[in-house]
Amino acid sequence: MTSRSPDSPAPELTVVVPVYNEQATLAEIVQRVLALPLRLEVVVVDDGSSDDTAAIADRIANQDGRLRLLRQPCNRGKGAAVRAGIAAARGDVVVIQDGDLEYDPRDFVPMLAEMRRLDSAVIYGSRRLRYRSASVQASYYWGGVLVTWFTNLLYRSRLTDEPTCYKMWRRELIQSVPLRADGFEFCPEVTARVLKLGHQIPEVQIDYRPRTAAEGKKIEWRDGVIALWTLLRLRFSR
């Protein structure tokens, strides 16, 4: 087992991986992250899984000290898991990685490089900045377009992909944002709060290979409605 000594430099990147019943893909996605040419740590937050997800993460943590496993006592939602991971982050920069294989963590490298080049406190990985990544079920695609359009309308931003998983922030910024969402509304909440703080959000094109509901995709149409309400509510609240 490897571990980070107290005198070693802090990771340049903390990858927060919220998971709920992802035993089929967790080991592979974690290994892809750990293979990146970056000084990083991986914080897997198990959100009360009923399968072997936590056991798989625990086994990898015993083999590689760059991974830490946090366990939620019950299933509270993706937002709650992400918030727990953010609070535990030690890296200079924090990014979110889902436990499935829809996104390619190799995109973290150009995202981090562009963040540094722009001296930005935040950057998003867009699935449609220059081109539309892979084939996406129409309802998911147009739902994302609507949420992005509504975000830009309310907050005068220029995003092309608000609901993207790949949201990256400097740790000092994201740990200072008062996040409260427990579910998928975490995404619009964090975007709204960061924009209200006056930060512009640049984007980098990323790859994306969507899975279907039959393959384990958990987001539903009602989550889009909640996202729109979250954006509207936060726009006119303190």
pLDDT digits (tens, 9 = 90+) for 139-185: 778 889 999 999 999 999 999 999 999 999 999 999 999 999 999 99
Consecutive H or E run containing 124: strand 122-126
| pLDDT for residue 7 is more than 70 | no
Please report where in the chains the tokens 């946090």 appear, as a residue: 70
- Please give the CATH superfamily to which domain 13-235 belongs: Spore Coat Polysaccharide Biosynthesis Protein SpsA; Chain A (3.90.550.10)
- Bridge partners of 192, per DSSP, are none
Interior angle at CA 22, CA 89 and CA 204, nearest 5: 55
Domain coordinates of the chain in residue numbers? 13-235
What residue type is assigned to position 171 of the chain?
A: R
- Model-level pTM greater than 0.85? yes
Structure tokens at 198: 């006056």
The torsion of the CA quartet 211, 194, 95, 204, rounded to 10 degrees, works out to 70
pLDDT tens per residue, range 190-216 = 999 999 999 999 999 999 988 665 555
139, 210 Cβ separation under 8 angstroms = no
Consecutive H or E run containing 125: strand 122-126
Residue 169 phi/psi, 5-degree rounding, is: -140, 155
Residue 132 phi/psi, 5-degree rounding, is: -85, 120
